[in-house]
Structure 1
């Protein structure tokens, strides 16, 4: 069940409760502007905590806390390169979700009409 599917049948039944809960958690994580900026950057490249802190303009401990929340929500992944921990958005579905949210915000800000 995906939002980009054109079938109206998918909208006639509620998704499973655990899926709704996971989706709500993901959206709560995106509700923070700092996490949204971080996830935007992580959608394009891998970052370690220090480089992400410099790019977003906040302290490293704050970046680490935000990354931990994003990881728990399944929005970012971590891999190690030696002693360095590198983070990145977890898959194309995360990038598409972020792009859709930004497109919706752009439409709202600039009065672009919806086309269903």
Structure 2
């Protein structure tokens, strides 16, 4: 049970016990006692409505704060992931450029080697 549920239960139970004790030990007439009980019940009802309203507002505020906090953390995580992805892409592009240079050198070396072989065959 939540704190607000326990508080609500305590209020209702306290009101009922108080009403029962008031009836049992009432020194006044029944009509006066009923009026007093009615006034007390209205006051307790007003307190209860006020507490429910405050609890609802508090829960709404907490939910909004949690949502904002989540959105901030999500944006931060996305931003960090984006930067890391950019770093990975930059590293991959650098490696690709290096591999292209190595490939071009290997192709050049292979072409030179083929030309040497052809020249040697032609000279022999």
TM-score class normalised by the smaller sequence: under 0.3
Higher strand share: 1
TM-score scaled by length of structure 1: 0.26
Q: Which has the larger radius of gyration?
A: 2
TM-score scaled by length of structure 2: 0.25
Higher helix share: 2
